[in-house]
Structure 1
């Protein structure tokens, strides 16, 4: 069970005075917005409208009586980074309009609920020669390509930052290690995702995201990728985020030639893992002893089942060639055969470097299995099966 570490408890005490600003979250949002635009080209009306949902997210967390001092500081930091991303890209586009012509050709989106094999699949495709995914340090220091010395400095700073996160929440670090110079999920560039509910209760924001058309979010993702690799565009960008699964139309409006790799697994394990992830994150944002595990279970079952049901309906509108299915059990049984089949479907060539990448990814030396159960979150397999009644696993390809 995740516990608040002594360091986290100390920081919550030290940051308690800053909690007073929660009384006026709108003023906090305006301050953050002003800070990120200082010295840069002002954001236009369309960008401000696309970011306005973050105002609601901030207000939701500010209204939570169980939010900790660290939670309030982290909420502001996370939102500031999303605002800053937009300001940085728009400023670069204004000063270097040629970046808008950078190619983003046939990107691959790896989608699927947590613990369904997305990370292994993502790593193998993104690390294949000619491909690449956005790195964690790049997404937290968004800008044009840097000289080697500056790049190494930024990577070192990112390592230090995320080592601190691991000290604050060892459970989160075990569940989802944050590696500065490794590929990470695309939501770190975009403005909106249900993943922000892992910080704590955000009911109004979740309602907003459920009804939102996030096309502008994915158009911005394209813009950000063009900035990150200006003059160094890969053959294929590879992206990953579980909640991208039910955003296929928006993604295709931004990337008309996108392809999707959908990883599948019996949903019980995926839902339990998502709940465990939310609990680990809550530990960093919520006061000790105030985490409602049953609420987490109900919320993440709804997000997961509702999202998959939506994805099934959306997929029916797409050509069969747009989506490649990967069955988790097949991936465990024979990863090389499965992944080579994925490469074939994506018109990628498997080579010696991919063999080496697979061997490295499968090396579990020192790895501790992540334990989680549905029962901890007041869920049962029967309840999950009922929620996922419309979801059938694809047949094995082995």
Structure 2
């Protein structure tokens, strides 16, 4: 049977196609139906190019396939599903505020475990690393990532993507089809409004189950997670991980927002080609992240002491000192082995000075003064 086009595709058709690809048919509960239905409806009007239509279809099918793989894994490993997720270390903060570098740096500490990129697309108990290269799921994930980076090579520099290193939890959260991932990649205003009104606790409950699955053979190490959009859903994070050690990174929005737009603009060019509206991307992102920061501050005011606020500039100046501050805050031990591994990672991944501040609001047809006004409360609170 030929693959269904995304134009006019129904949820039932997309689910049937994902089932054919995986040989599985149990999607679990129906909590993802509303989001997927609305996403498919909005994508019809999202101005996708022919190439973008194919890429968007693969995007949706990938998350459906991942959901199928997860449900099958949950059933095969019932003992792992009973284990608590204890004191995960979670990094959040506006995109382009050092979350990716901090996440990868912390992952050098063997006391932590994260979810590697290939396991986000094919959730399963993590095999021994020596077996990854021969694993068909690993090979498929690598081919998909290589194809994406061929279209948008800047994603490698700006996001440090690699198939075998820890990845943010956004892909696993997207299995519930309530995700800012879709809103940032596509012009889907109806879905965007719906998403922002949702209680995202079920998505984080599913994330916790996926962590139990991936860590089924490694139940004792502490989980290390990272997702900038956790800033928007901080209350839901605490609903599911009440003892989490949360680090929120901060950066002046006058620097962060233009850099966010540059990164997300790459995705829009993949999906919309020459029709990509980067000024529109700027308008959406500056508004969304202001809302996210405001929501996070309200949660922190209601739960004082639950989140460690740290500054991007401090991380740039002294990465190991920055790590020590985090460890001291949460009573963690930085071993000599971990510090040596971190120093090795820093030496192999030097920060490019050209990425410090390459873009301004004016580059995208917007005003620095207007951005200052929108973020005046946030900038005052965090000393910008």
Distance, in Å, in 1 between the alignment partners of 2:337 and 2:381 is 31
Write the deviation string for residues 205-258 of structure 1: whole angstroms up to 9, x where unpaired.
110111011100000000001111102124211111111112111112211211
Which residue among 318, 336, 339 is the counterpart of 1:334? 318
SS of residue paired to 1:81: helix
Gaps of 5+ in 1: 1-16
Query: Cα 1:235–1:21, aligned 2, differ >3 Å: closer, same or farther?
Result: closer
Distance, in Å, in 2 between the alignment partners of 1:273 and 1:184 is 20
- The normalised TM-score by structure 1 is 0.86
Which residue among 363, 367, 375 is the counterpart of 1:388? 375
Which residue among 363, 373, 376 is the counterpart of 2:360? 373
2:64 match: 83
Distance, in Å, in 1 between the alignment partners of 2:317 and 2:130 is 42
Residues 1:179 and 2:179 aligned together: no
- The normalised TM-score by structure 2 is 0.89
Write the deviation string for residues 345-376 of structure 1: whole angstroms up to 9, x where unpaired.
12211122332233234334595733322212
1:9 match: none
2:329 match: 345
The 5 A counterparts of 1:20-169 are 21-26=5-10, 29-37=11-19, 39-40=23-24, 42-44=26-28, 47-64=29-46, 66-146=47-127, 150-154=131-135, 155-169=138-152
CA contact (8 A) 1:374 1:380 kept: yes
RMSD value over aligned CA atoms? Answer: 2.4
1:200 match: 186
- Structure 1 residue 162: Cα displacement: 1.4
SS of residue paired to 2:199: coil
The 5 A counterparts of 1:272-287 are 272-287=258-273
Distance, in Å, in 2 between the alignment partners of 1:354 and 1:150 is 24
- Structure 1 residue 304: Cα displacement: 0.9
Gaps of 5+ in 2: none
- Structure 1 residue 393: Cα displacement: 4.8
Residues 1:255 and 2:241 aligned together: yes
- Structure 1 residue 55: Cα displacement: 2.4
Distance, in Å, in 2 between the alignment partners of 1:352 and 1:310 is 38
